[in-house]
Structure 1
Amino acid sequence: MRDYLKIEINHLLGSLLIFIPIGYLLQQIPVAIALAFIAYFSKHAYYLTKLAYLINQGARIDPPYPADIWGLIYKELSRFRSRSRKRKRTLSRFASRFRKVTSSIPDGLILLNKSAGIEWANPAANQLLNISWPRDENTPLSEHIKHEELSEYLKNPDYSKPLELPSPTNKAVIISLRVTPFGGKKAQRLVVARDITDVYKLNQTRRDFVSNVSHELRTPLTVIAGYLENLSDNDMLPFQERPFTLMVQQADRMNSIINDLLTLSRLELGRAASAEKPVAIPELLRRIIDQAQLLAEQKGGYKITLDVNDSLWLLGEESELMSAFSNLVFNAIIHSPPGTEITVTWLRLENEACLTVTDTGPGIEERHIPRLTERFYRVDKARSRQSGGTGLGLAIVKHIIGRHDGELRISSQLGVGSSFTCAFPEEVTLNKPLTAPDKEEAVNSANDEQPELTHSSPE
């Protein structure tokens, strides 16, 4: 850069050296100096005008370049335009490959703006949802997909669960819509439409099969259990007692499996709870703890602690919540050795209402945790069968909590214990309505601590 400045200074001095002697001879030195500066700046005006012309015409700026500072400007602009052309070619190739990739994807891809208008869509979106780009650009998505839950689904910021609906082009095709926000402040959204007809039919077939088989098995099992009950009134020979006891135990276990399968099939039929009524969770948990103490007495040596927020209730189905919560509490007793401490809490944490069952049992290996809610999955098959578990309990709990818009979270550490948390959003919680006596009692007991419910085996 310094070299170019020296060149410009030399050019200016050269102009002055040419015009000042002439002005001296003509006795017009000021005019000569002015002419020298005019000549110097005329050169700059020429190169500036030439550059503007080349840029306006989109012409290439090729050498030879001027031997002054304009040469630097011309050279750098030429390099910049060359790099720009390369970037354009790269972007063009990338855009071409992107179009080919999106055209080959079987899932429909739809780009929405912040007002849920269509900005772009791939060809698969036309086949699945009858949305074509650029034909339907800037039109609302709800104009093309007539579904009562779509508008609420798009307004809800939680897109963790997909929306399943029939395809507008073919009602026999089931589409799963999943939304992913992105961009600045996540104002834009990418909608992925996937054909899940085969999976949907397979799940429906599985549910129907399980339900039908469970119903068909119930009748012969009832007959077997009836005969076993009649035989229990008769005297048996010593060698008959153990086989008879095993038959009764296995009949009871099969009956539990059938009941759990029927419950699970019923839960899978809908997403929302069958009823949305205020449920007094604190009282429900106290009933569960009373029942859990009876089980603890049979096994011996458990300490059960209950900590609840008495004013925190839920909207939902009481029988389903009773089943889910009792399942977690009883599991803590069944799958833990005597001496285990079990803590049950029902509290409001941040924007959630959380039911947490924590035990100090042997814990669960981390690799098993993601699969605990699968049907019939067992961490220790031998121990689970000995305890009488069906392998369906946590699957039922997960479905019940999901039907109440909640989430089941599991954490565990070997040798330390396990924690099962049912977290419910603020939308399904409510405060217990207080009557006048209740209000007075609440004021008097505001600073009292919740007493512990404990059970210990006799010395």
Structure 2
Amino acid sequence: MYEPYPVPELARDHKKSRYSSLRTFAKQDLKLLAFLLIIAAFIGYGTGYFLLCAVFAFAVFFAFQLYSLYLVNEWISNRPYEVPPNLNGIWGALLFNFYRAQRQERVVQAEMVGLIDRAQSSLVALAEAVVLTDELHQIEWANPAAEALLGIQALDRGRNLLTILRHPRFIEYFSHIDQYPDGIRVKLSIEDEKYVQIKLTRFGSESLLLVAYDVTRMQNLEQMRKDFVDNISHELRTPLTVLSGYIETFTDQEDISPRWKRAFDQMQSQTRRMNALVNDLLLLSRLENEKQIPKNQIIEMPSLMNQLFDDAQAYNADYGHTLNLEIDSHYDLIGSDMEIASAFSNLITNAIKYTPKGGSITIGWHDDGEQAYFSVEDTGIGINPKHLPRLTERFYRVDSARSRQSGGTGLGLAIVKHVLMQHAAHLEVESVENQGSVFKAVFPKSALYFVD
């Protein structure tokens, strides 16, 4: 670590005693005062004006202190970064300590500036766009990548961020950052087929850090995957329908042998399962591609809940569970009755399938005045907490063997998630292994319709 200025003589003189008490430095002033008083005593003894000489000695000492104070003030006011005047006594100690603290502070500042320069150089080299805004959301700094990805130039410093990024989805995200923990993906330009993932992070009081990166390749791969699933699902539907029809025809023959009947029953079971998978894939593809049907229908929840309860009782015939229905809310839902019924039905059938025979399942519709929720509570096998974050991923299975045995497609909760997202709702899961689970579809007040 370098020393920006030469060490003054005062600092060298006091280097070994810089941590001594104030008494050490005061002794120098006392020695000077004692020296002046001795001279005054000799002169006073010779002239007979002892008291006057003593007063004069004190005046000289006081004048010297005033002069030292003047030098200290002049150095601090006009030359604080130069070597301080070489003074003894308390004023010299004061100058030395002040100068030493100043030097240490400047070294720390130099290190901080170097650290900031290195950090800024790193940010400049990033391929990701980085933008800093102040409390008024005005741009303070942006790296070169911000111009390529977001169109933010050096001349935009001091402008409000929303005057540059005016995409409707970004404005919505900017106003409700906490509702998008992973940020948003937007296509900023209609002409340019470029997709950008944007994440905002608060720091300080109201300052923001924006990080954005190009996800065009990822978006294209995802779109290719969705198109493939959509196309293959449509292509599979027709042959499956033909196969199912022929298998059903052969199964209904009265003269068919038991051996062939068992084989056709298995084929029919598998074609039904395959058909259910294709239907779920088509529904999920439509939901993901946002090919939405109108979401402005008023869904009468008592009627829907009773219909779901009747369907559940029919599905429950082979399981023997105790089913309960609870409705204590006067709110109806605003949305798509077909999509909502599909999502709720998935939650109910999952509870029935994954609850050992003779269990208890409660289906409910409740509200707390601010939001309403559809719930399914079971006494089933439960779910290990480590699986909860991935439950809504397509084809994710907690227990693959059990899922295949129950005939599930692995898409039910993925469909539930997308249906709820399109209704501004979300899914909450509480579960304890071997004790049961509670699935809640929570809807905001904006999606509710009050019934008198």
The answer to whether the aligner puts 1:92 opposite 2:121 as a matched pair is no
* Correspondence 1:121 to 2:151: no
Work out whether residues 286 and 292 of structure 2, in 8 Å CA contact, stay in contact via their aligned partners in 1. no
In structure 2, give the amino acid aligned to 1:87: V
Residue 436 of structure 2, aligned match among 417, 425, 435 = 417
1:51 correspondence with 2:72: yes
AA aligned to 1:86 is: V
Rounded to whole Å, the distance in 2 between the matches of 1:366 and 1:417 is 12
Deviation of 1:11 (Å): 4.6
- Residue identity in the other structure for 1:194: Y
Query: For 2:260, what is the secondary structure of its paired residue?
Result: helix
What displacement does 1:90 show? 0.9
- Equivalence for 2:339: 320
- 1:373 and 1:367 mapped to 2: Cα distance? 13
Most deviating of 148-157 and 386-395:
148-157
Deviations along 1:123-157, whole A, 9 cap, x unmatched? Answer: 11011112133x21111223323423333321224
Amino acid at match of 2:83: I
Residue in structure 2 matched with residue 4 of structure 1 by the alignment? 25
Residues 163 and 287 of structure 1, relative CA distance in 2, 3 Å threshold: same
1:395-449 CA-to-partner distances (Å, cap 9, x unmatched) read: 111111122222222232222222222233344344x231xxxxxxxxxxxxxxx
Q: Secondary structure at the match of 2:168?
A: coil
Q: Does 1:150 align with 2:180?
A: no
Task: Summarize deviations over 1:24-83 as a string: whole Å, max 9, x none.
Answer: 9586957963x55543343333333333443423434368x5331112212211221221
Identify if the C-alpha distance between structure 1 residues 109 and 333 changes in structure 2 by more than 3 Å, giving closer, same or farther: same
Q: Give the equivalent residue in structure 1 for 2:10.
A: none
- Among 270, 279, 288, the residue aligned to 2:308: 288
In structure 2, the partner of 1:166 is 187
Q: Does 1:208 align with 2:230?
A: no
In the alignment of these two chains, the number of paired residues is 427
Query: Would the aligned equivalents of 2:167 and 2:188 in 1 still touch at CA under 8 Å?
Result: no
Asked whether the 8 Å contact 1:103–1:123 carries over to 2, the reply is yes
SS in 2 for 1:412: strand
Which residue of structure 1 aligns with residue 392 of structure 2?
373
Check the 8 A contact 1:128/1:168 in 2, yes or no. no
Amino acid at match of 1:105: L
Partner-residue secondary structure (3-state), 1:171: coil
In 2, distance between residues paired with 1:30 and 1:291? Answer: 117
Task: Give yes or no for contact 1:277–1:317 (8 Å, CA) kept in 2.
Answer: yes
1:177-225 alpha-carbon deviations (Å, 9 max, x no partner): 11111112xx011111110101111111111111111111111111112
In the alignment, the residues of structure 2 paired with residue 26 and residue 129 of structure 1 have an alpha-carbon distance, to the nearest angstrom, of 92
C-alpha distance in 2 between matches for 1:168 and 1:42? 77
* Structure-2 change in CA distance of 1:304 and 1:233 (3 Å): closer
Letter in 2 for 1:88: Q
Within 5 A, what are the aligned runs for 1:179-328? 179-184=200-205, 187-235=206-254, 236-270=256-290, 274-300=294-320, 302-328=321-347
Letter in 2 for 1:61: V
C-alpha change, 1:100 and 1:241, in structure 2 (3 Å) is same
Call closer, same or farther: CA 1:154–1:41 in 2, change over 3 Å: farther
Whether contact under 8 Å (1:271, 1:403) holds in the other structure is: no
1:321–1:116 CA distance, 2 compared to 1 (3 A): same
- Which among 378, 381, 389 is matched to residue 408 of structure 2? 389
Contact 2:185–2:196, Cα closer than 8 Å, also in 1 = yes
2:83 corresponding residue in structure 1: 61
User: In the alignment, which residue of structure 2 is the partner of 1:448?
Assistant: none
Question: So what's the TM-score if we normalise by structure 2?
Answer: 0.85
SS of equivalent to 2:156? coil
Shift of 1:354: 3.1
Question: What residue in structure 2 maps to residue 437 of structure 1?
Answer: none
Q: 1:271 and 1:138 mapped to 2: Cα distance?
A: 40
- The residue type equivalent to 2:146 in the other structure is A
Q: 5+ unaligned residues in a row in structure 1: which ranges?
A: 435-459
Deviation track 1:367-400 (CA, whole Å, cap 9, x = no partner) reads 3322222212222222222222111001111111
1:431-446 residue pairs with structure 2 within 5 A? 432-434=450-452
Query: 2:437, 2:447 → 1: CA distance?
Result: 26
Q: Partners of 2:250 and 2:190 in 1: how far apart?
A: 62
Looking at structure 1, the residues matched to 100 and 368 of structure 2 have their Cα atoms a distance apart, in angstroms, of 60
Measure, in 2, the Cα distance between the counterparts of 1:309 and 1:197: 47
